[in-house]
Structure formats: C-alpha cells, structure tokens
C-alpha cells in the first residue's frame, strides 16, 4: 500500500481538523469555523475541540433555524443555530450568550459521550430540578460557565425557560434593554 501521511503517527495535523474531516458541516462552514476559533480562547474548550478533532468519530454539524440546539448521540450530530443567542436571565439589562458558546456546550456533551458512553447515558437519565438532568448540570456548571467567564460572557443558573434572541453572527451577544411587546 501507499503511505498516507495524514495517518502517520507523528503527524502534527492529527490534533487539528484543518481538512474538516472530523466535523462535517451541512452548509457554509464560515460560522462554524469562526465559533471554533473563538471557543479555543478557553483552554478547556480548546481541549474539547482538540479531542473531538482527533477522535475516530465524525461529528455532523447540522445548521437549524429554530432554537432546539442539541447533541444527538444516535447519529453523532450537533444541531446548531449560529444565529440563536441564549439569554442567561429574563431580568432587565441581562445579557445573552453567543451562539458560539451554545456550540461549545454541545461539544462538551459529544466529548463526554465519546469518553464514557455508559456514564453519559446514566447522567442523562437522572433528573435535576434546575438543569433538567445531571448531564446538563455537568456541562452548564463545570464547562460552559468556565468558558463563559473566560470569554467574558454571562453564565446561567438553569437549563430551560430562558429566551433566545436572533443575532447577526455566531459571536454576537445581546442585552435586554426593555420589556418585550
């Protein structure tokens, strides 16, 4: 057989996804790439992205229009709206998280699933009053909140019931400046 330099064990490209082989984006990858570079400013998010990039699994990134952003372990897909900014609170002057941070949140689910499928499924099945389930609690309180602080974004204290707002790009955030009509 022929040499495949991309499978060479000392290949420096192995830990980055410069060819887009580990993330399959169902459309223009610009927003995705911008979000990934932004998230890498946080060391834990960078480790998560590097892990997923070097994994045997390909993660499908499916752009969606709505707000049902999620990771689906059955088809190894992250459903992401690069224009959906999630508010951390409904209080006046509250800020939102960027769509990029939402993507990072889903990356954390995907990483844990690949590291420990059994425990991932166990955490998903254990309910939690504030965070819906223990897996959401783990990601929000340990990974997402740290990245939010590093990136200068707000942190949230619950999983559901918070409004989304449409923004113009994956790194944009908003601020509640008045009451909705």
pLDDT of residue 5: 46
pLDDT of residue 21: 55
8 Å CB contact between 167 and 174: yes
pLDDT of residue 157: 87
pLDDT of residue 178: 59
Question: Residue 52's CB: how many other CB atoms inside 10 A?
Answer: 21
- 78: which 2 tokens? 């992250």
Q: Which stretches in the chain have pLDDT values below 50? A: 1-20, 180-181
Dihedral sign, Cα of residue 153, residue 159, residue 162, residue 166 = positive
Question: Residue 40's CB: how many other CB atoms inside 10 A?
Answer: 16
Please work out, in degrees rounded to the nearest 5, the angle formed at the alpha carbon of residue 48 by the alpha carbons of 73 and 164.
65
pLDDT of residue 16: 44
pLDDT of residue 100: 98
The DSSP secondary-structure symbol of 14 reads G
What is the model's pTM? Answer: 0.86
């Amino acid at each position: 057989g022929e040499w495949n330099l991309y499978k060479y064990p000392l290949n420096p490209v192995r830990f980055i996804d410069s060819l887009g082989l580990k993330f399959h984006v169902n459309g223009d990858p610009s927003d995705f790439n911008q979000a990934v570079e932004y998230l890498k400013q946080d060391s834990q998010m960078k480790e998560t992205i590097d892990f997923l990039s070097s994994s045997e699994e390909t993660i499908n990134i499916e752009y969606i229009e709505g707000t049902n952003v999620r990771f689906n372990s059955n088809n190894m897909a992250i459903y992401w709206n690069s224009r959906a900014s999630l508010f951390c609170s409904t209080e006046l002057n509250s800020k939102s998280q960027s769509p990029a941070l939402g993507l990072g949140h889903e990356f954390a689910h995907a990483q844990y699933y690949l590291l420990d499928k059994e425990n991932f499924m166990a955490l998903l099945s254990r309910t939690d009053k504030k965070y819906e389930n223990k897996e959401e609690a783990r990601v929000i309180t340990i990974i997402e909140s740290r990245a939010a602080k590093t990136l200068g974004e707000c942190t949230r204290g619950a999983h559901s019931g918070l409004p989304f707002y449409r923004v113009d790009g994956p790194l944009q955030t908003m601020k509640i400046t008045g009451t909705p009509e």
